[in-house]
Amino acid sequence: MTDAPIQRLCVIGVGLIGGSLARALRAAGACNEVVGCGRDSQQLQKALALGVIDRAETDIARAVQGADVVVVAVPVGAMAQVLKGMASQLSPNTIVTDVGSTKGDVVRAAQIAFGNLPPTFVPGHPIAGTERSGVEASFAELFRQRKVILTPASTTHAWAVSRVTWMWEQAGAQVSEMDPQHHDEILAASSHLPHVLAYTLVHTLAGMQDKDEIFKYAAGGFRDFTRIASSDPQMWHDICLANRNALLTMLRRYSGELQQIAAALQHSDGSYLWSVFAQAKQARDEYTQTTQVSTELGVPSPCKGEGQDGGE
Ligand code: NAP
């Protein structure tokens, strides 16, 4: 049954995303028991105390036993090791899905871990997040009206895709499907490049002699542009390396545009600047009107009280 509650959900990596999904599914009555798995038992005790999970396990093989759905919510650099750790324990009916921000590398990791891509493995990516990490930052509403992209293979069981689609819908998300490579190209442009730009700008300014004054007089524009530079460095290290080809393509393209801006400034070419800024404003205005800021860079968060949030 696609719409019966999940009997036993196993979440490996009970952090922001894994914890938020567990909370959302519990709140919707969409799962009966949640087993949480991680390396740090103190973190798992926090998840137990917060009521996010019912049982804590530090051993992956034990954690997945008897689960009908396993959600892998660890940094993408840890996916291969985690998938390998569960490979011998899964029954043919256990659905495994993940929440990793990149998809090509996760699919490759699953192929290696399982020996082939299991028909019950449904790769996924919720386009929602905040710049905060850990189970304390998790909240049930994170995925409401947000998009989730699934990247199943042609060999993936349709019933497994339906079940994962249903799971995310119970958390309030809208689900669509995409090819993994296309996913990685699109996300390199809309999410991975902006993070690299934000980190690099803050790093550049922090290395300047006048940095104290620069930060002292920085206003809302700087705050908006750089908020995502507060995201977890380990997570973004993993994402950038995992998607380096698509990210490099975007970086080269962006660098080319920056060079054109520099040339226009050098030649006092105001009409070039005006046309770039005007076209960008029009594109940005259209984006905010049509998407209601539903991308990874705009998640309303009850955690922060700042209105806009978003790690991805
Ligand atoms: P997080 O809050 O740091 O949580 C990651 C969790 O993974 C932690 O509970 C950590 O617990 C566990 N973990 C890390 N390495 C592990 C390993 N080797 N084995 C088992 N558990 C491990 O990170 P997150 O923001 O939820 O991100 C999780 C995934 O979601 C990543 O793949 C990320 O790309 C994706 N994602 C993130 C966002 C976002 O905006 N944050 C949005 C969409 C997708 P222990 O330290 O106790 O092991």
Residues 276-294: pLDDT tens digits? 999 999 999 999 998 764 4
Lowest mean pLDDT among 2-6, 102-106, 244-248: 2-6
Distance (angstroms) between ligand 1 centre and the Cα of 149 equals: 18
Q: What percent of the chain has pLDDT over 70?
A: 93
Question: pTM for the complete prediction?
Answer: 0.91
Distance (angstroms) between ligand 1 centre and the Cα of 219 equals: 31
Dihedral angle, C-alpha 2, 5, 11, 17, nearest 10 ° = 80
Number of domains in the chain: 1
Ligand 1 atom nearest the C-alpha of 238 is 34
Residue 184 has pLDDT above 50, yes or no: yes
Domain that holds residue 31: 1-312
Mean pLDDT value of segment 33-56: 98
**So what's the pLDDT on residue 295?**
41
**So what's the pLDDT on residue 211?**
97
Q: What CATH code is carried by the domain that includes residue 207?
A: 3.40.50.720
**So what's the pLDDT on residue 2?**
67
Mean pLDDT value of segment 102-108: 98
Ligand 1 binding pocket (C-beta < 6 A) is 12-18, 38-40, 43, 73-76, 78, 81-82, 99-101, 125-126, 129-130, 133-134, 232, 235, 239, 311-312
Distance (angstroms) between ligand 1 centre and the Cα of 118 equals: 23
Ligand 1 pocket, mutate which of 12, 39, 64, 243 (most atoms under 8 A from CB): 39
Distance (angstroms) between ligand 1 centre and the Cα of 13 equals: 5
Distance (angstroms) between ligand 1 centre and the Cα of 15 equals: 5
Residues 113-168: pLDDT tens digits? 999 999 999 999 999 998 899 999 999 999 999 999 999 999 999 999 999 999 99
Q: What percent of the chain has pLDDT over 90?
A: 90
Ligand 1 atom nearest the C-alpha of 14 is 9
Q: How confident is the model at residue 307 (pLDDT cuts 50, 70, 90)?
A: very low
**So what's the pLDDT on residue 3?**
80
Ligand 1 atom nearest the C-alpha of 85 is 19
Write out the two tokens for 179: 């090819």
Residues 150-160: pLDDT tens digits? 999 999 999 99
The residues near 124 (Cβ < 8 Å, ≥ 6 apart) are 97, 98, 99, 148, 149, 150, 151, 164, 168
Average pLDDT, the chain: 93
Secondary structure letter of residue 302 according to DSSP: T
